[in-house]
Amino acid sequence: MSDMRIAVTGSTGLIGTALVRSLRSDGHEVVRLVRRAPRAADEVEWDPEHGYVDTAGLMGCDGMVHLAAAGIGDRYWTAAYKRKLRDSRVLGTATVAEALASMDNPPRVLLSGSAVGFYGDTGDRTVDESAPPGDGFLARLCVDWEEAAAPAQEAGIRTAFARTGLVVSGEGGAWGRRIIPLFKLGLGGRLGDGSQYWSLVALRDEVAALRHILQTEELSGPVNCTAPEPATNRDVTAAMGRALRRPTALAVPAPALRLGLGELSEELLGSKRVLPRRLLETGFSFAYPTMDAAVRSALT
């Protein structure tokens, strides 16, 4: 891939930080969108709450990666926080899409974040990008999140949605901040009966997948960014125990999880058995295709 100029929102988040680092290490130029007056030459101001982007700073960009959004698991899902989850995704995506559509020479591709929550609870059934949306708050949110990019699509900009699974990393996110510390203390265990499938992706594979989507012209619309072998929560728990050499006998009963986390608990107890069909069809190769490999990647 020849040197490119890529704009990124959410550049200080777990995925954004790793993506910016990866792009720059290979000689690409990165423009970071920030919600304040720019303080560095690589910064461009935007204000999603008021629908503003300094599009002059995006001139010459080959692509935009839109990752900015409030964290799904950062807080208890009160009505106010659910509004924040929605607004940060829908308003932010609409702002970016409308800004790009207004440009005379916009970036050729918009890669916008999404999530496997789109599919709802799939049980034991495997799903790929052809599956319809599921039920529940997060599924409806993902539908609206993706639809907010319509202005860019209508302007002829190749638009792809990275439906990302649970990112496995020791650098941050739910895995680095919560799961790994609990297991290191010997307090890790299955959630509910542990039979629910988790669709995981190693952070390094997530970054590689985003870069693959950016440079693969035939990829537009939804692209599942998950490892090709979803694993049950029970198997993930066992893998963490093996990797850290810690006991995993503890378990959190489903009623206790619902009491402590409320509606968010359904995302942990629900099953998402998602396959990355479109990545594999376009030649993407996972460095960490299995659950054990993804877990090891987070600990090294």
Spatial distance between the Cα atoms of 149 and 228, rounded to a whole number of angstroms: 27
Q: What residues does 159 pair with on adjacent strands? A: 110
pTM for the model = 0.94
Pick 5-298's CATH classification: 3.40.50.720, 3.90.209.20, 3.40.50.300, 3.40.50.261: 3.40.50.720
CA 237 – CA 247 distance, rounded (Å) = 10
Pairing mode of beta strands 43-47, 29-34: parallel
Residue 253: what pLDDT? 83
Report pLDDT for 251: 85
- What residues in the chain have per-residue pLDDT under 70? 1
For residues 15 and 68, the answer to whether their CB atoms sit within 8 Å is no
Q: What is the pLDDT of residue 250?
A: 82
Q: What are the beta bridge partners of residue 31? A: 7
pLDDT at 1: 54
Q: Measured between alpha carbons, how far is residue 281 from residues 8, 114, 119, 224 in Å? A: 26, 20, 20, 12
8 A C-beta contact, residue 200 and residue 168? yes
Task: Give the number of other Cβ atoms within 10 Å of residue 43's Cβ.
Answer: 17
Query: Which residues, 6 or more positions from 178, have their beta carbon under 8 angstroms from its beta carbon?
Result: 73
* pLDDT for res 76: 84
